[in-house]
Every structure is written in structure tokens, then in C-alpha cells.
Amino acid sequence: MMMDINPDDARADRTIPTSDWRPAGERPLTDREVPLRSDGAMAALNAWLDGEAPAPRMANSQLTPEAELWSRISIEAASRRKLRTPSHVAAQIMNALPPSTAMRLVAAPAVHASATTVARAQTAPAATGSISLPPAAIAIMAVVFMALGAIFARML
């Protein structure tokens, strides 16, 4: 599976490829195929669902049929909010991890962080900008540099 980790991607506004093999009626609706209705009923519904207005009701104070539908959808949505990850998934992920993570390149404080957060981050190990190397690697590098130095000294 292709995974994209680019956070600045703007694919939200992509449209469905025109090469879609299915008849138009069977293709998923794209953003532009759903024009916003200008009638007051839909606006009232959206205002209610956005928490900006009371629920639209008919003269007899019953919910409109559309509001009734959305109240049912709300119950279904609330039930989906209780979903939990299957218990085996976390272990599965940890077992599938590669041996080591990539070396830290640049550490930057949180973009939207408060001054306090930034100050903490700057003193935290995660944000020092250092490259961590195990002692064995440092020892090997030292030996290599000493050997190179000796070679150059002989050449001179």
C-alpha cells in the first residue's frame, strides 16, 4: 500500500479521475457534484447540526422529517464513536516495526506551541538537535579516524 506522509498534501480537493470506468450514476459524488441548496430548510438544518440554532420543527412542534432523519443518524454516529481498536492490533503493530527508527535529522519545537511549551521543548532531549550515537559506534569512529590520521602522517 502506498502511504503518503506529506502533511501539506492538498488532495482533499482532488476530483475523481475521468477515466472512472463506471457509469456516471454509479460513481461516488465529488465535491462539486453536491451544490449547496439555497433553501432555508437545509440552512436551518445545517445551523442546528453545527450547534448554532435550535432543531427545525414543524407547526405542531414535531421535528421536521429531515431533522428526524438526522437525529437518527446522530445516534448511529454516537455509537460509532465508542469503537475501540481490536486488542491484537497494538501488539501486531509493535511486532511489525523495523529494528530501529530513522536517525533524528532536525528537531523543531511544535509549530503552534505556546511559549511555555517551546521553552520546555528546547530543554527536552527531543528538541536538542543532537544526533544520538551508541558508545560502540563512537569508539569505532575514533579508531577509524586515528588510522586515517596515521596513514596521512606516513604519506607526508
Least distance in angstroms from the C-beta of 106 to other proteins = 8
Dist. CA 81–CA 60, nearest whole Å: 33
Binding mask 136-155 for other proteins (x = CB under 8 A): --------------------
Least distance in angstroms from the C-beta of 143 to other proteins = 22
Please select the residue that binds other proteins; options are 58, 77, 150, 151, rule is CB under 8 A. 77
Q: Is 155 helix (H, G, I), strand (E, B) or coil?
A: helix
For residues 81 and 75, the answer to whether their CB atoms sit within 8 Å is no
Dist. CA 47–CA 50, nearest whole Å: 5
Q: Does 126 bind other proteins (CB under 8 A)?
A: yes
**Residues 85-114 interacting with other proteins (rule: CB under 8 A):** 85-86, 89-90, 92-94, 96-98, 100-106, 108, 110-114
Q: Is 96 helix (H, G, I), strand (E, B) or coil?
A: helix
Please select the residue that binds other proteins; options are 18, 23, 24, 28, rule is CB under 8 A. 28
Query: CA of 101: how far to CAs of 1, 5, 62, 97, 134, in Å?
Result: 20, 15, 58, 9, 14
Least distance in angstroms from the C-beta of 98 to other proteins = 6
Least distance in angstroms from the C-beta of 25 to other proteins = 10
- In this structure, the dihedral spanned by the alpha carbons of residues 112, 10, 98 and 91, taken in order and rounded to 10 degrees, is 80
Q: Does 57 bind other proteins (CB under 8 A)?
A: no
